[in-house]
Structure 1
Amino acid sequence: MRTYALLIADDEASFRELLQRRLGRKGYLVKAVGSGTEALEALAEEEFDAAIFDMKMPGLDGIATLRRAREIQPSLPVLILTGHGSIETAVEAIRAGAYDYLTKPCNLAELEAVLEKALERRVLEVENQGLREALRRLGDEVEIVGRSEPIRRLLELTRRVAQGSMPVLIEGESGTGKELIARAVHLWSPRASGPFIPVNAGALPAPLLESELFGHARGAFTGAVAAKPGLVELAEGGTLFLDEIGEMPLEVQAKLLRFLESHEVRRVGETRIRRVDVRIVAATNRCLTDEVNAGRFREDLYYRLNVVTLHVPPLRERREDIPLLVEHFLARLGSAKEMTPDAMEILMQQEFRGNVRELFNVVQRGVILSPDRFIAPEDLGLAVRRARSGQAGAGLEAGPTGRLDGSASETGEPFPTLDEVERAHIARALERTGWNRAQAAQLLGVSVRTLYRKIESYGLRSGM
């Protein structure tokens, strides 16, 4: 059961001590101070789950303390106590953000009941914040498309693994869909009603990543104007997905290891320890044993994470799923267009080093660039691979129609070179976007710098 931290500010020592003893016996962690100024200092040092402020205190009164407290910890529920009850004072307290208002001498059982309700709302707000964060980053459903044997084996193992609570390590090349498998682990688990929160473990430098994961206290560093819970806390009762775990800085690896061993976190700049129930699912496109041998990844963390490993196969090992994926992507894009047989044949031959993500980009380009209902090979913008062994013309470059004879088209005209195909493809993308180079680069799947270089190389000009 979670232990809640309470802050009491009251200048009447006997009443303050009475509350501290009574609530302490109820299992609360209570810090009691005698003034509003001391209360604000305490709030700046650590986070509390609720607070009780006396209305009349020397220096800052209860209302002023409440307003300042909400600047430090905006979601803090505060009860106001006063020996001078009046409707005007009650309205002022509620307007200032108080959760409730009780008059002295107050019934302690009533105070405890109101406090419990305030804490219930606090827990609900934190849970909702975690859910909103999860929904902001990802949708509600997981769609894993494929009927190949490698995919069937993977999904069968994923369903079994999902029922446990141990850490899971997902391995696979970039673009294979590791995050989809992580979501499946979550949604097929008893934690499905909790949040699923992903974070790229290699996207931030160590100090920022530590703060993002474990939170920080107010004033912990420049710009920390308020206390903030970390993603580990927001994932309470659910799953935290650590993508690209192999790129996590070593100093953060040490803190993650401590969390996996104790399930306890301490925010940056804070001494308070919080216990958090969350499942860790990690993913990597690197060989972690190589990273361990190179000293870039902690061996003890590797063994802690590697309880169960799920391997996501690359697309080239499940080519039979490509037609299903193409159909799925066309539906996802809301397109009624179809791939021509030649175009589908070219897709089936590609290596797709970018895997499913690259295939989606190719299908999207085809939808945008095809002038009619049918997506032809020249609409895909692919550098066509060499013919497979045993086919006529083996070793020759395929033409943009997917034919592999290496000679000429049915009209007797020679096939264009790959440079000519690329030039025409870039020109079409520029025309479709009104020569908006940023949009054209996105459409082509290249950087703006690369596009500028190609435009210069091919001598392309607007209006040509």
Structure 2
Amino acid sequence: MKESVQMIVVDDEQDLLQLLVQRLKRKGYQVSGFASGHEALKQMEQTSYDIGIYDIKMPGMDGIELLRESKKRSPNMEVIMLTGHGTVETAIDAMKSGAYDYLTKPYNLAELDVIIQKALEKKQLFEENKRLKEVMQIEGMQFEIIGEHPKLKMLLEMTKRLAQSHVPVLIEGESGTGKELIARAVHTWSERSNQPFIAINSGALMENLLESELFGHTKGAFTGAVSEKKGLVEMAHKGTLFLDEIGEMPLSLQVKLLRFLESGEFRRVGENQLRRVDVRLVAATNRNLEEEIEKGNFREDLYFRLNVMKLVVPPLRERKSDIPLLAAYFLKKYQQRYGRKELSPATIEALTNYHFPGNVRELSHLIERGVLLSSNEKIEPQDIFPHGLNKNDFIAEDLALISLDEVEKNHIIRVLEQCDWNKTRTAQILGISLRNLYRKIETYGIER
């Protein structure tokens, strides 16, 4: 996309400078022109450029020095040198210093176009390889969705259908139900499956850090920004960006996300340059966003933009028949790490009847605990539930129904007690941010 390519032209001959800048702009590039190297370097502190075109012979700072300084600031920038007949040897030295190519004045504009295209191809190939290496370190695309319950099968069938579109998808479900697995399924079953899948928890970072993580930042944009950084939206180019806990995103950042959703355009923190990427957005929440809109915590226009396609992940208590299958899956996983164990019939029955406020994530933790705590080959109920159970822990037809809030409160208290009130560890087990945990403790009036 030429409109997203940033170019800088530096030549002390004003007529030639203006002619080249105008021609490149007509070609669709974003072009800045400067008559001196010092002016160009000053602008490079504010803007990242893809291609530089420098005259070698200039008063003050010449093109060779400008090339070296440019490479210090933007190592991946490709630079084309312009030289007179008598300075060809200097141009060759420039290539040894990192220039991509050179042209002898008076140059052919068509030939310059060809060199620019080749330089762009080299830069884009390098950045694509770098981006994919970064993504490979982040994502780990392997995943499995375990279960045969009709509700799960219906969800997966809907997921396959939605995956073929390019519109945003909103995934709703309680904490621990596997919303990220469904997001990965959307990506894997789409045409973008060979491209990056990038995930971020919207509630895990402070507002300024979240914006920088999403959209990137320039050098010096804030304290600690010692170099420019690409955001996750750029790393997810042509792929899928998954925003977990979207309901916890600050309102000021929701505005920028909405603008990005509508146009595909964004700015890095501390930068005026407008950038564009092609990203499919998938968002997830364990909150009721309509209620959050009424409370003033979530933008209605963003909700409507996200809610084009919605998937609802059922809680584990609504697909009890999958509990033995999931338990066997997690048992096999932890056996490889800790040694061979089996679940006793009494343990399978206890698990099947347990209401699982923490859903699949809680089941995984319970099985891991059982494998670790069991002193025999068979894992018994007391190995998994060392503090015992009461009647509210089980699903029973004749049991008086309690509200979902009460279930959540009881589960938070139970996990806090098991973690000796370590809130960071509790938040990790619950699959929510520490900030969200403190909010729930205050809402439910939980005290030690």
TM-score category (smaller protein): 0.7 to 0.9
| 1:266 lines up with 2:267 in the alignment | yes
For residue 50 of structure 1, report the CA deviation from its aligned partner.
1.2
SS at match of 2:82: strand
Q: Which runs of structure 2 are paired with 1:92-107 in the superposition (5 Å)?
A: 92-107=93-108
CA–CA distance in 2 between the matches of 1:389 and 1:59? 81
Q: Partner residue of 2:69?
A: 68
Counterparts in 2 of 1:76 and 1:390: CA distance versus 1, 3 Å: closer
Return the letter of the residue paired with 1:349: N
For residue 12 of structure 1, report the CA deviation from its aligned partner.
2.9
Structure 2: gaps of 5 or more residues? 401-417, 431-448
SS at match of 2:314: coil
Return the letter of the residue paired with 1:256: L
CA–CA distance in 2 between the matches of 1:2 and 1:22? 13
Counterparts in 2 of 1:351 and 1:130: CA distance versus 1, 3 Å: farther
Q: Partner residue of 2:292?
A: 291
Return the letter of the residue paired with 1:77: E
| 1:348 lines up with 2:352 in the alignment | yes
Q: Partner residue of 2:159?
A: 158
Structure 1: gaps of 5 or more residues? 396-425, 430-437, 447-464
Return the letter of the residue paired with 2:177: T
Counterparts in 2 of 1:36 and 1:342: CA distance versus 1, 3 Å: same
CA–CA distance in 2 between the matches of 1:128 and 1:164? 27
| 1:374 lines up with 2:375 in the alignment | no
For residue 102 of structure 1, report the CA deviation from its aligned partner.
4.1
For residue 355 of structure 1, report the CA deviation from its aligned partner.
1.2
CA–CA distance in 2 between the matches of 1:16 and 1:257? 39
CA–CA distance in 1 between the matches of 2:429 and 2:142? 26
Q: Partner residue of 1:54?
A: 55
SS at match of 2:229: coil
| 8 Å CA contact 1:127, 1:234 repeated in 2 | no
Give deviations 1:305-362, integer Å, cap 9, x for gaps.
1111111111111121122112222333325432222222222222222211111112
For residue 118 of structure 1, report the CA deviation from its aligned partner.
1.6
For residue 30 of structure 1, report the CA deviation from its aligned partner.
1.9
| 8 Å CA contact 1:133, 1:197 repeated in 2 | no
- Higher RCO, Cα 8 Å, sep 6+: 2
CA–CA distance in 2 between the matches of 1:128 and 1:340? 49
| 1:223 lines up with 2:224 in the alignment | yes
The alignment covers a number of residue pairs equal to 401
More helix by share: 2
| 8 Å CA contact 2:353, 2:396 repeated in 1 | no
| 1:110 lines up with 2:114 in the alignment | no
CA–CA distance in 2 between the matches of 1:101 and 1:375? 72
Give deviations 1:356-385, integer Å, cap 9, x for gaps.
111111222222333454333343244433
CA–CA distance in 1 between the matches of 2:42 and 2:91? 25
Return the letter of the residue paired with 2:200: V
Q: Partner residue of 2:187?
A: 186
| 8 Å CA contact 1:53, 1:81 repeated in 2 | yes
Q: Mean alpha-carbon deviation: is it higher for 359-368 or for 309-318? A: 359-368
For residue 89 of structure 1, report the CA deviation from its aligned partner.
5.5
CA–CA distance in 2 between the matches of 1:282 and 1:54? 48
SS at match of 1:113: helix
Matching residue within 362, 366, 382 for 1:362:
366
Q: Mean alpha-carbon deviation: is it higher for 359-368 or for 217-226? A: 217-226
Counterparts in 2 of 1:116 and 1:372: CA distance versus 1, 3 Å: farther
Give deviations 1:75-125, integer Å, cap 9, x for gaps.
2222233335456763x4345333334444444333322221221232233
CA–CA distance in 2 between the matches of 1:117 and 1:247? 44
SS at match of 1:141: coil
For residue 176 of structure 1, report the CA deviation from its aligned partner.
0.9
Larger radius of gyration: 1
| 8 Å CA contact 2:2, 2:28 repeated in 1 | no
Q: Partner residue of 2:327?
A: 326
Aligned identity (percent) is 52
TM-score w.r.t. length of structure 1:
0.78
For residue 40 of structure 1, report the CA deviation from its aligned partner.
0.9
Q: Which runs of structure 2 are paired with 1:183-262 in the superposition (5 Å)?
A: 183-262=184-263
| 8 Å CA contact 1:171, 1:311 repeated in 2 | yes
| 1:337 lines up with 2:338 in the alignment | no
TM-score w.r.t. length of structure 2:
0.81
Q: Partner residue of 1:27?
A: 28
CA–CA distance in 2 between the matches of 1:196 and 1:245? 17
Return the letter of the residue paired with 1:345: E
CA–CA distance in 1 between the matches of 2:259 and 2:288? 23
CA–CA distance in 1 between the matches of 2:158 and 2:205? 32
Return the letter of the residue paired with 1:362: L
Give deviations 1:136-160, integer Å, cap 9, x for gaps.
2221223111111111111011111
SS at match of 2:217: coil
SS at match of 1:45: coil
